Amino acid sequence: MNRVLSFSLCVLGIIGCVPVSDYPLTLSGNQKLEMSLIGTWWGGEGDEISYVHIGQMESSAYLHVLCVQIDKKGSLERMEFSGHISSIAGNTYLNLTAINKQGAMNTDYLLVKYQQSGDTCHFALMSQKVTRQAIEKGRLRGKVKSNLWSSSVRITEGPEKLRQFVLNRDKELFEERVRLDRLDRQKQE
């Protein structure tokens, strides 16, 4: 499975491979919205393409993120999020909550690191393995549930200690990055 597809499947919630947090890294409103992140980003290999549309929610300063995956059979999978940006010690993160089909927001946070350079953005989902090990060793408050087919990891640590954990373990927590490029609308016209 290619990295972009794997990333998309995790973001789309098809695979329970990403830890969720009860809290964001920072409160919303503490960080300025980065307008350069607004747009459509894409990546893929072969017949499988992922699009990540990032805009602003109509009624607030929150980000509105729509992920769409098109597989080689032409099937679509989608997931919608609302969120805000956290800048911590020179690193930037998205604090995303899923929006269900009825438009209600989930209370779980998906923490995603990103690095943008011009029309290229690298996204990294938090490592379930590193987070699970920290919870099991008592270094981070949380819950781990496992069964034969899957496991889930929930971080229950408060924002201050969660930020410190992320700062101390950033490189290993966000090791697997996926490159997405900005879709240039002018070239399509």
Note the pLDDT tens digit of each residue in 78-97.
Answer: 889 999 999 999 999 999 99
Average pLDDT, integer, range 3-16: 47
Measure Cα distances from 105 to 45, 66, 92 in Å. Answer: 31, 13, 22
pLDDT averaged over every residue in the chain: 85
Conformational region of residue 109, where left means phi above 0, alpha means psi within -120 to 50, and beta covers everything else = beta
Reported pTM: 0.85
Q: What is residue 12's three-state secondary structure?
A: coil
Distance CA 70, CA 45 (A): 11
Say if residue 189's pLDDT is above 70.
no
State the pLDDT at residue 185.
Answer: 60
* Alpha carbon distance, N-terminus to C-terminus of the chain: 33
Q: Residues with Cβ < 8 Å from 43, sequence gap 6 or more?
A: 4, 49, 50, 178, 179, 180, 181
Q: Which among 49, 163, 184, 176 is positioned nearest to 123, based on CA atoms?
A: 176
State the pLDDT at residue 16.
Answer: 55
Q: Residues with Cβ < 8 Å from 15, sequence gap 6 or more?
A: 6, 9
Task: State the alpha helices, DSSP H only, in the chain.
Answer: 3-11, 128-136, 159-173, 185-188
The better pLDDT of the pair 137, 176 is held by 137
Note the pLDDT tens digit of each residue in 18-74.
Answer: 899 999 999 887 677 788 899 999 988 777 788 999 998 877 778 999 999 887 888
| Fold (CATH) for 3-125+177-183 | Lipocalin (2.40.128)
Distance CA 69, CA 147 (A): 27
State the pLDDT at residue 184.
Answer: 74
